[in-house]
A = this chain, B = another copy of it.
């Protein structure tokens, strides 16, 4: 039985412009699962869906992607998907490197979600929404305007400030990358997949440059793009 990854699809851009409504894969959290599946060397098919259409994942009892279906197992939430893959495919390359690494990856996941994403992403959602189909754009706008308490245009106005704050939050990552090529050590593991999803998302959803060309995190991102047969390079970037 082939593993299925349910994730967000959006209108294709660049080389995918002809691919219609599901030409893009732009969900931050799905990229964690994509990289984890690639790390484990597992074959899978993707099942793209629109943000505003929950019917295709009704089977899961969930309303959010990514969702992984592996035979009769259905797992929602990107971190739980990584844990499922680690538990179910222990003979494949490890995502966590043992119990302590697993716990610290859990911390890293929460740090990335609350501090990195929380700081940067809201101000980029206006640009992101412009690439989406109208129903999805409206959905995203409603979600972030409720969360931010003001129009998406006003949230986007603090973009430059958010980019500076985001860059500063990455200092502990740079400190690690001064001594080793990946956050997880000599090779990438799940903490790298988490961070990659956060840095990759602006690449593929906005034209705004987030990191300087000479940033250590930029060089690390290039190394991540080279991993797993260059799977993440196949996603067109916004220019």
Contact = CB atoms under 8 A, between A and B. Distances in A.
A175 B110 contact: yes
Interface in A148-195: 169, 171-173, 175-176, 179-180, 182-186, 189, 191
A106 B179 contact: yes
Interface stretch (A10-18, A91-99, A121-129, A231-239): A91-99
A236 to B, nearest CB: 31
A75 to B, nearest CB: 16
Name, among A97, A108, A173, A183, the residue most crowded by chain B CB atoms within 10 Å (CB to CB).
A97
Nearest to A173: B107
A63 interface: no
Total copies of this chain within the assembly = 2
B185 A107 contact: no
Given A101-B97, A104-B191, A110 B185 contact: no
Provide the main secondary structure of the chain A interface: helix
B110 A107 contact: no
Interface string A89-121: 000001011111111111110110111000000
Contacts of A103: 176, 180, 182-185, 191
Given A107-B108, A191-B104, A99 B185 contact: yes
Contact of A171 (B97, B98, B114): B114
13 contacts: A97-B98, A97-B101, A99-B186, A100-B104, A100-B105, A104-B107, A104-B108, A106-B176, A107-B108, A107-B172, A110-B175, A110-B176, A115-B169
